[in-house]
Amino acid sequence: MASVIISYCSNEQIFLDSLLKECLKFSDDIVISYGSHLYDGTPEDIKHINEYKDKYPTIQFIEYKVDIKLDLYKQKGVKKRPIAYWHNLARFNGKCHLKKKEWVFIIDSDEIPEGVEVKKWLTNFKLDKKNCYKIANYWYYKYPTNQAKTIEDSILLIHYDYLNEFTMYGDLERDYIISSSGCILDRRIMGLDNKPIWHHYSFVRTKDGLKHKMKNWGHKDDFYDVEKIIDYINKNDNDIIHNYEYIKVDNKFNILS
């Protein structure tokens, strides 16, 4: 019904089982794109990757090479945010291995769908190729039971025909794909019951996991002092990133944090 490209590294392992089980409920064309190394040069845990390959034989796990000696400012699409190059490469690598050439979800491995609800939505929602869609998601902070009252929409659904080297390499990653494709953007798309059908656990991590994420992700240069932000998050439960208000909910996917 729709293909899925997932950017992945082993620091996000706590999400992977739930993510793949849910994606398999609506897709038979799933590509996990992972680097040979993490973006700080640490070798990827290939043994762990191979275990998941055996566990999910219908899902493709495709490696791309990460060479931290590269001058990122000389790479495709890089202007002001060099670390974004690796995120773009991960998604382009995934795109190149899709089996189908139709609608594609582009997600990160901490963005978990409600598979049955996504399938219902895909079956009943009339997709227009002139459009691309950002799917509404619940946002979580620090704990998988800490759900923001504010709804976000980081997940992108776009037609395969718009995905190429020109549209997929830019400083703003998924937002660049949207702007460079020329699609009409439809935002905060809800499920059939008018509720979000995706869950984003961006800051639900161990202390070490959070530290690695914030020092290596595409938004690391958005913060004046990453170390101070990390220290604050570890010591305080209130949201210093977005200043959202939160409610307590069940740990829907039994994520360990």
Taking the domains of the chain in order of start, what are their residue ranges? 3-134+148-193
pLDDT of 226 reads 79
Residue 257 has pLDDT above 70, yes or no: no
pLDDT of 189 reads 98
Contacts of 88 (CB under 8 A, 6+ apart): 76, 77, 168, 169, 170, 173
pLDDT of 210 reads 83
Report pLDDT digits (tens) over 180-196.
Answer: 999 999 999 999 999 99
pTM: 0.95
Q: Does domain 3-134+148-193 have CATH number 3.90.550.10?
A: yes
| Distance of alpha carbon 72 from alpha carbon 189, whole angstroms | 34
Beta bridge partners of 243: none
CA distances from 224 to 155, 203, 228 (A): 26, 18, 9
Residue 66 has pLDDT above 80, yes or no: yes
pLDDT of 89 reads 98
Angle between helix axes 207-216 and 226-235 (nearest 10 degrees) is 150
Contact by Cβ (8 Å): 43, 68: no
pLDDT tier at 241 (50, 70, 90 boundaries)?
confident
| Distance of alpha carbon 120 from alpha carbon 127, whole angstroms | 13
pLDDT of 230 reads 85
pLDDT of 22 reads 98
Averaged pLDDT score across all residues of the chain: 94
- Which amino acid does the sequence have at 213? K
pLDDT of 213 reads 81
Q: What are phi and psi of 37, to 5 degrees?
A: -140, 160
Helix (H, G, I), strand (E, B) or coil at 237: coil
In percent, the amount of the chain with pLDDT more than 90 equals 84
Q: What are phi and psi of 208, to 5 degrees?
A: -65, -40
User: Which residue's entry shows tokens 């992945």?
Assistant: 8
**Residue-wise DSSP of 92-155:** HHHHTT-S--SEEEEEETTEEE-HHHHHHHHHHS---TTEEEEEEEEEB-SSTTEEESS-EEEE
**Residue-wise DSSP of 36-100:** SB-TTSPBP-HHHHHHHHHH-TTSEEEEE---TTS-GGGSTT-SS-TTHHHHHHHHHHHHTT-S-
Mean pLDDT in residue range 51-71: 97
Torsion of CA 82, 164, 98, 50, to 10 degrees: -20
Cα 11 → chain centroid: 13
pLDDT of 120 reads 98
Report pLDDT digits (tens) over 205-238.
Answer: 888 888 878 777 666 666 668 788 888 888 889 9
